[in-house]
């Protein structure tokens, strides 16, 4: 087991009290990833004070799950990390894990805009080009950017106001706590914390 603390620190074979302590110490906009072997991990991100996302991956990008409801508290995060750390068989059943997969939600809309040559699909109640749900899905699998020779965890969408909590990103259509589609004007740069499409940081190919 290895605990990644916001990419600032890595702890090998942490025990449960250390992990809980790191969850308590986690700042807003910071994350923890507890990995058992490559591709197998549980992770959390503190969206705002006391509000956490909780996800886990079981090998492949198609096996990526998010807890439902999508935001939770530190007690639940500790419970999840504790069970995962112990390799408990109860881990998977202890939470309402929902696959982070989007294809089932897409439906083709009839009576499309006649001015548009491209048919639109309705996805999460929003009209968009047919390839866009796929872009959203792929964006969730792109977890890092390479900037200045270093890997940075991408910053998920944070809602600025409570009234926006249930809304989709007005630019790219992702939910709160999801990763923006690359190129979205509302994505924050993980390196300088500026607006990613405007800042001076250059994303390098892997
Ligand atoms: Zn966006
Ligand atoms: Zn930047």
- Taking alpha carbons only, the member of 186, 137, 135 closest to residue 158 is 186
pTM of the shown model: 0.56
CA of 139 to the centre of ligand 2 (A): 18
Ligand nearest to the CA of residue 148, numbered in listed order: 2
pLDDT at residue 111, as a whole number: 46
State the pLDDT at residue 60.
78
| Ligand 1 centroid from CA 186, angstroms | 5
Residue spans per domain, the chain:
2-99, 118-206
Q: What is the pLDDT of residues 30-87, one digit of tens each?
A: 889 999 998 899 999 888 889 898 999 888 777 888 888 778 999 999 999 999 999 9
Residues paired with 57 in a beta bridge: 41, 64
Cα(66) to ligand 1 centroid in Å equals 19
Q: How many CB atoms lie within 10 A of CB 89?
A: 9
Distance CA 206, CA 197 (A): 19
Q: For residues 8 and 28, what is the distance between their CA atoms, to the nearest angstrom?
A: 15
The predicted pLDDT at position 88 comes to 87
Q: Using 50 as the pLDDT threshold, list the residues of the chain that sit under it.
A: 102, 104, 110-114, 116
End-to-end CA gap in the chain: 25
């Amino acid at each position: 087991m290895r605990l990644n603390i916001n990419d600032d620190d890595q702890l090998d074979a942490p025990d449960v009290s250390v992990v809980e302590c790191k969850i308590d110490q986690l700042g807003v906009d910071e994350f923890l990833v507890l990995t058992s072997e490559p591709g197998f991990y549980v992770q959390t991100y503190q969206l705002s004070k006391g509000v956490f996302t909780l996800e886990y991956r079981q090998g492949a990008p198609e096996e990526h799950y998010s807890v439902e409801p999508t935001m939770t508290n530190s007690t639940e995060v500790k419970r999840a990390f504790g069970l995962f750390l112990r390799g408990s068989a109860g881990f998977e059943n202890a939470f309402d894990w929902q696959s982070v997969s989007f294809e089932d939600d897409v439906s083709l809309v009839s009576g499309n805009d006649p001015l548009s040559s491209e048919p639109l699909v309705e996805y999460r109640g929003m009209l968009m080009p047919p390839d866009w749900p796929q872009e959203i899905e792929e964006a969730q699998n792109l977890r890092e950017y390479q900037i200045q020779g270093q890997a940075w965890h991408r910053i998920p969408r944070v809602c600025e106001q409570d009234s926006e909590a249930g809304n989709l990103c007005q630019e790219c259509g992702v939910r709160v706590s999801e990763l923006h589609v690359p190129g979205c004007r509302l994505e924050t740069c993980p390196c300088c914390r500026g607006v990613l499409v405007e800042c001076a940081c250059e994303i390098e190919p892997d």
